[in-house]
Amino acid sequence: MDNIVILDGYTINPGDLSWSGLDAFGKVQIYDYTAPEQVDERISDAQIILSSKVVFDEARFERHPQIRYIGALATGYNVIDVESARLHGVTVTNIPEYATMATAQMTIALLLELSNHVGHHNRLVHEGRWSQTEHFCFWDKPLSELSGKTIGLFGFGRIARQTARVCLALGMRVIAHSRRAIIDLPDDLKLVESVSFEDLLKISDFLSFHCPLTDETRGIVNAESISMMKDGIYLINTSRGPILNEAAVYDALCSGKIAGVAVDVLSTEPPPENHILYNAPNCIITPHIAWAPMETRRRLIDTAIDNLAAYLSGNPVHVVS
C-alpha cells in the first residue's frame, strides 16, 4: 500500500473532524505542521502527499522521485510548481469551490461590520459606555445604510456572484470588473453592471476583491489606483493579501482618503507583531478564517479523499498539473 503523508493538517482539522476516510488507501501519517527544514525527511518514503502551504519546487521533485501524487488542500496551488510536477510525472489536484458560500458570507460580515460597527459598539457597551450615558442609545462611529450604496466587485467568479446576490437583496447597486466578459448572467444577477477597472475605482462606495493572486493583481491597490477612488471609499479583501499594497492602504486610511478597510488576509501570514495595518485607523483584520467553518472544512476533507480515490482508480479529477 502507498505511504500517505499530510504535512500541515492542523488548520484544516484541529481535532473536530476526521481523516479516517484516507485509511483505505494506504498508511497515513499526519503532521499538524511541517517546518521547511522538516519537509524532506517527512516525505522521504511517501508516494502520496496532501498539503496546503508547503512549497514543492523543481529541486524537491528532483530529490524525491518516488512522489506520484500531491493533493493541494486548498483551491489555490501557487506553492506547487505544477510544470515541474508534470515533468516528473506527478499528478497535482486541488479543491475548487469548497468555500464559495463561506467566503461570500465572510465578505458580507465584513461589509456589515464596516457599515454597522457591531463588534466595536459591543465592546463599548461591555466597557460601560452605555451605562454612563443619559440617553437611551449612543454611537461613536458613523452608521451607514447600505441600500442605495454601490459595491464594486473586482473579479466575478463564484464567490463574487454569491456576494452580489446578497448585496442586491440589501438594495445595493452592484458593479463588477473581471478579466473575463460578464455575459449571460442568470436572472437573479441581471442587475449586475459590468464596468471598466477605472470606473470600478471611481464609482464604488465599497470595493471588494475576489480574484486570484497573479502578476497582474499583485499590488493592484496602490497609491495610483487609490488616487482614482472615490473619497471615503471602503475596501474589503477576502482573496489574497498581496493584492493590497499595505503601506499605500495605511497612508490612505491615515489621510481619510479610504474611510475603512476590512481584510481577512494579509501579505504575510502569520503577520509580524508590528504589521503596519495594526495601527491604522478604521481597519478590521480577521485571521484568514473565511474558509474555516466546520461545514466548509468537512467539505474540503471529503473532496480531498474523493480526489485521491479518483486518482487511484485511474480517473483523476480536479487535476491542475
Q: Do 40 and 64 touch, CB atoms closer than 8 A? A: yes
Q: Do 143 and 118 touch, CB atoms closer than 8 A? A: no
Q: Which of 177, 240, 297, 318 is catalytic?
A: 240
Residue 120 is a catalytic residue: no
Q: What is the DSSP letter of 278?
A: G
The residues, ordered by sequence, that sit 6+ positions from 253 with a Cβ below 8 Å of its Cβ are 260, 261, 280, 281, 282, 283
Query: What are the cell numbers at 307?
Result: 480526489
Residue 240 is a catalytic residue: yes
Q: Do 153 and 175 touch, CB atoms closer than 8 A? A: yes
Q: Which of 97, 127, 224, 269 is catalytic?
A: 269
Residue 288 is a catalytic residue: yes
Residue 304 to residues 20, 34, 57, Cα–Cα distance (Å): 12, 19, 21
Q: Tell me the C-alpha distance between 210 and 227, whole Å.
A: 21
Q: Do 30 and 19 touch, CB atoms closer than 8 A? A: yes
For the chain, the first-to-last Cα distance in angstroms comes to 24
CB-neighbour burial class of residue 227 (10 A; exposed 0-12, middle 13-18, buried 19+): exposed
Helices 158-169/100-116 angle, 10° precision: 40
Q: Which of 88, 173, 288, 297 is catalytic?
A: 288
* Active site residues per annotation: 240, 269, 288
